[in-house]
Amino acid sequence: MSCGAIGAPQPWICGYRPVVTFGETAHNRLTAVELARLTRAGELTATEVMEAHVAEIERLNPAVNAIVDFRPERAIAAARELDRTFRKDGPHGALHGLPVAHKDLVPAAGFRFTQGSPLYADRVAMQDHVVVERMAAAGAIAVGKTNVPEFGLGSHTFNDVYGVTRNPYALDRTAGGSSGGAAAALAARMLPLADGSDTGGSLRNPASFCNVVGFRPSPGRVPSWPDGDPFSRLSVVGPMARTVDDLALLMSVLVGADPRAGWSVPADPAAYFPLPEPRRPIRVAWSPDLDGRVVVAREVRDALEPVVAAMAAHGWEVEPATPDLTGAIETFRVLRALKMQVTLGPVLAEHPGRLKADAQ
Catalytic residue annotation: 103, 178, 202
The amino acid at residue 292 is G
The whole-angstrom separation of Cα 220 and Cα 215 is 14
Paired sense of beta strands 317-320 and 283-286, if any: parallel
The amino acid at residue 192 is P
Residues sharing a CB contact under 8 Å with residue 188, sequence separation 6 or more, in sequence order: 18, 20, 22, 56, 60, 64, 66, 168
